[in-house]
């Protein structure tokens, strides 16, 4: 008798779709499905903002019987700062005078019922990468979209991806008129390295499998 198919946690998919953030529902589900299908091992997200994409990954983590680890300094990306397009004054801590997305993130994870499968690390991604040692099954890069930070995220975390593991990159827009180019450049850098083969993505979400020999 064959084993029943493992399916995504529907409660968490619904919570993700309803949460605040910038992940379209079709891309979020594709992200969750890719994480569900990845080989055994940890799922890690770089850049979680208010937790929308984290909930999609949590839907896969719960189905896999594992957890998703997130790393974010929660001070907001460049585009979230004062004077930028995605600045939200409601996310500024009045006592500190800086963006603080951690309370909103924790609220979304709690309301979504995902506290048992989400391990949140408050740190700069490159600092945490220096302490990490477990090979990753799935790595999602969706941090700051400047060239410097995107390149730094790729350089610090891609070496931790296991052979056969999946690298996901969000907001990849080949046409500059559609969006920023930093995620597109790290996507091209990874693909052009010869260490990855491309899987079927969705919208601005690109999926790459690390080659066994890389």
| Confidence at residue 105, expressed as pLDDT on a 0 to 100 scale | 96
Catalytic residue among 87, 145, 160, 170: 145
145 has catalytic annotation: yes
Mean pLDDT of the chain: 91
- Mean pLDDT of the 152-157 span: 98
Range with the poorest average pLDDT among 3-12, 31-40, 84-93, 171-180? 84-93
pLDDT digits (tens, 9 = 90+) for 47-62: 999 999 999 999 999 9
Q: Which pTM value belongs to this model? A: 0.91
| Confidence at residue 78, expressed as pLDDT on a 0 to 100 scale | 64
User: pLDDT band at 115, cuts 50/70/90?
Assistant: very high
- Mean pLDDT of the 91-111 span: 86
Range with the poorest average pLDDT among 72-81, 145-154, 181-190? 72-81
From edge to edge, which strands make up the β-sheet containing 118-122?
Answer: 118-122, 68-72, 43-46, 136-141, 161-169, 205-210, 196-202
What does the domain layout of the chain look like in residue ranges?
Answer: 11-210
| Confidence at residue 90, expressed as pLDDT on a 0 to 100 scale | 75
CATH number for domain 11-210, candidates 3.40.50.720, 3.40.50.150, 3.30.56.10, 3.30.70.1560: 3.40.50.150
- Residue 2, pLDDT above cutoff 50: no
| Confidence at residue 96, expressed as pLDDT on a 0 to 100 scale | 73
Provide the Cα torsion 184, 166, 47, 55; round to 10°: 120
pLDDT digits (tens, 9 = 90+) for 63-79: 999 999 999 998 876 66
| Confidence at residue 168, expressed as pLDDT on a 0 to 100 scale | 98
User: pLDDT band at 84, cuts 50/70/90?
Assistant: low
- Residue 210, pLDDT above cutoff 50: yes
């Amino acid at each position: 008798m064959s084993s029943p198919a493992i399916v995504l946690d529907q409660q968490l998919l619904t919570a993700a779709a309803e949460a605040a953030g910038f992940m379209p529902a079709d891309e979020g589900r594709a992200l969750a499905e890719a994480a569900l299908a990845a080989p055994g091992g940890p799922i890690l997200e770089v850049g979680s903002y208010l937790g929308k994409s984290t909930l999609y990954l949590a839907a896969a983590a719960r189905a896999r019987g594992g957890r998703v680890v997130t790393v974010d300094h929660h001070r907001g990306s460049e585009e979230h700062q004062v004077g930028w397009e995605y600045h939200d004054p409601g996310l500024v801590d009045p006592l500190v005078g800086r963006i603080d997305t951690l309370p909103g993130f924790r609220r979304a994870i709690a309301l979504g019922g995902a506290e048992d499968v989400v391990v949140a690390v408050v740190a700069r991604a490159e600092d945490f990468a220096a302490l990490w040692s477990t090979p990753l099954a799935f790595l999602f890069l969706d941090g700051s979209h400047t060239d410097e930070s995107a390149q730094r995220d790729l350089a610090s975390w891609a070496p931790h991806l296991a052979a056969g593991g999946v690298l996901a990159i969000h907001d990849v827009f080949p046409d500059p008129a559609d969006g920023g180019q930093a995620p597109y450049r790290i996507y091209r850098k990874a693909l052009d390295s010869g260490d990855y083969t491309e899987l079927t993505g969705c919208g601005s979400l690109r999926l790459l499998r690390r080659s066994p020999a890389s």
